[in-house]
């Protein structure tokens, strides 16, 4: 069975090297919708695949891009410096912030998050199947696990400014994720 959770964020970016000069040469923003598809092979004690409340770190992660500038790590050095100088919330990412780039990065990170959730309610094998990122009402990119071969990055190449980190309820969760520390279920 597959379940799906939807998240939203308001994000700003430039998509360098894309075909449209509107997108590659101008800072602009979108109201993004992110759909996370998760499969399970067993019902938990509440007859759910997994309670959405256990996916709170996915929300924290995607919220990190809300009212943030998504900055491609390979963008022009002077531009990068100006972004950091004049913006508090900056998420530096290893892929260009296209819908495809977001989908791949979100898939990669959400997969690590799901692998590190403490499953204490008889959940089965929980697997992230895909992440769909809607940049507009009419178009989306969907990344599947196999698509990670399209790129080469790791979690250490995703950077958040201190202002973003200050808004996290759990200040240590990102470092914990890097260390594959299991997230406890505080509700039990």
User: Which residues have a catalytic role annotated?
Assistant: 23, 67, 135
Compute the distance between CA of residue 163 and CA of residue 19 in angstroms, rounded to an integer. Answer: 33
Other C-beta atoms within 10 Å of 169: how many?
7
Measured from the CB atom, the residue of 23 and 112 that comes closer to Zn ion is 23
Phi, psi of 74 (to 5 degrees): -95, 10
Nearest to Zn ion of 49, 99 (CB atom): 99
Q: Copy the structure tokens of residue 98.
A: 């296209």
Q: Could you say which DSSP state residue 117 is in?
A: B
Cβ 81 to Zn ion, closest distance in Å? 22
| Binding map of Zn ion across residues 13-42, x = CB under 5 A, - = no contact | ----------x-------------------
Check residue 169 and report its DSSP letter.
Answer: S
Euclidean distance between CA atoms 109 and 127, whole angstroms:
13
Radius of gyration of the chain (CA): 17
CB of 28 to Zn ion, least distance (A): 5
Helices (H), 11-76: 21-24, 56-63
**Residue number, 31 or 154, with CB nearest to Zn ion:** 31
- What is the C-alpha separation between 28 and 127, in angstroms, rounded? 34
* Residue number with CB closer to Zn ion (23 or 43): 23
Q: Least CB distance from residue 145 to Zn ion, whole Å?
A: 25
# residues near Zn ion by CB under 5 A: 1
CA torsion 138-143-147-148 (nearest 10°) is: 130
- Minimum Å gap between C-beta 148 and Zn ion is 23
Residues near Zn ion, by CB under 5 A:
23
């Amino acid at each position: 069975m597959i379940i799906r959770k939807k998240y939203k964020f308001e994000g700003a970016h430039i998509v360098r090297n894309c075909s449209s000069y509107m997108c590659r040469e101008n800072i602009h923003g979108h109201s993004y919708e992110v759909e996370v598809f998760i499969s399970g092979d067993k019902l938990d004690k509440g007859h759910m695949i997994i309670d959405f409340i256990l996916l709170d770190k996915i929300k924290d992660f995607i919220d990190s891009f809300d009212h943030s500038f998504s900055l491609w790590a390979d963008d022009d050095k002077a531009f990068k410096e100006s972004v950091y100088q004049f913006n508090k919330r900056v998420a530096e990412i290893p892929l260009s912030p296209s819908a495809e780039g977001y989908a791949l990065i979100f898939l990669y990170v959400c997969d690590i998050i799901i692998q590190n959730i403490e499953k204490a309610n008889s959940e089965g094998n929980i697997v992230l199947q895909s992440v769909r990122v809607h940049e507009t009402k009419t178009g989306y990119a969907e990344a599947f696990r196999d698509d990670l071969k399209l790129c080469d990055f790791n979690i250490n190449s995703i950077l958040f400014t201190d202002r973003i980190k200050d808004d996290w309820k759990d200040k240590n969760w990102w470092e914990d994720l890097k260390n594959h520390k299991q997230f406890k279920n505080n509700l039990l």
